[in-house]
Amino acid sequence: MSKLFALLLVTGLTATVLLGWNANAGTTPKRSDLPKKEMTKVDRGRYLIEVAGCNDCHTDGFAQTGGQVPESEWLQGSVVGFKGPWGTSYPINLRLLINSLSEKEWISFAKTAKGLPPMPWWSLHNMTNDDLGAVYAYVKFLGPKGVQAHVALPPGEDPVGPFFDFDVHMASAK
């Protein structure tokens, strides 16, 4: 290999790295890929929403499309219910909830909430106040949007709309 070709190759690779090209996605990294110390509070909140899987339930179509829902549509709750021995629960519209609270009220709510399955409410209890504040900042950044989710239904009532059925009895492997 000639020295000129090697120099061009190294220069090209260096430029690619410096420009943040991602070979897997063909795009520059998301702001959430920044080191924690370089993130804004909103960036940190977006990152936490992503890694905690909040969109999987609180954004219609998110899991089914592999996360290909525009960010402007995130966290509006879902019409898809989760039916089980507890009744039927629906993921709430976090954008309406959080935008109706102060940051202090949100943190208090998140630290004391006890929801219905499949919501892992105990995970909120384990988040730091700084993390919950970042989630709050991100959702405030998105702004209020959408409508209230269906109210949870008690056992024995038919779900409204599509639902996942957790009432099915599990069979053990033989």
CA gap 73, 95 in Å, rounded: 10
Q: Residue 104, CB half-sphere, CA atoms under 13 Å: how many?
A: 0
CA gap 132, 106 in Å, rounded: 8
Q: Residue 164, CB half-sphere, CA atoms under 13 Å: how many?
A: 10
Q: Where are the domains positioned within the chain?
A: 39-165
Rounded mean pLDDT of the chain? 82
Q: Which pLDDT score is estimated for 167? A: 82
pLDDT tens digits, residue range 20-30? 333 333 333 45
Q: Which pLDDT score is estimated for 30? A: 52
pLDDT tens digits, residue range 32-91? 455 666 679 999 999 999 999 999 999 999 999 999 999 999 999 999 999 999 999 999
CA gap 152, 118 in Å, rounded: 12
101, 109 Cβ separation under 8 angstroms: yes
171 has a pLDDT exceeding 60: no
Identity of the amino acid at 77: G
CB burial readout 70-81, b (16+ within 10 A) else e: eeebbbbbbebb
Of the listed ranges 7-16, 97-106, 118-127, 131-140, the least confidently predicted one is 7-16
Torsion-angle region of residue 34: left (phi > 0), alpha (psi -120 to 50) or beta? beta
Domain 39-165 top-level CATH class:
mainly alpha
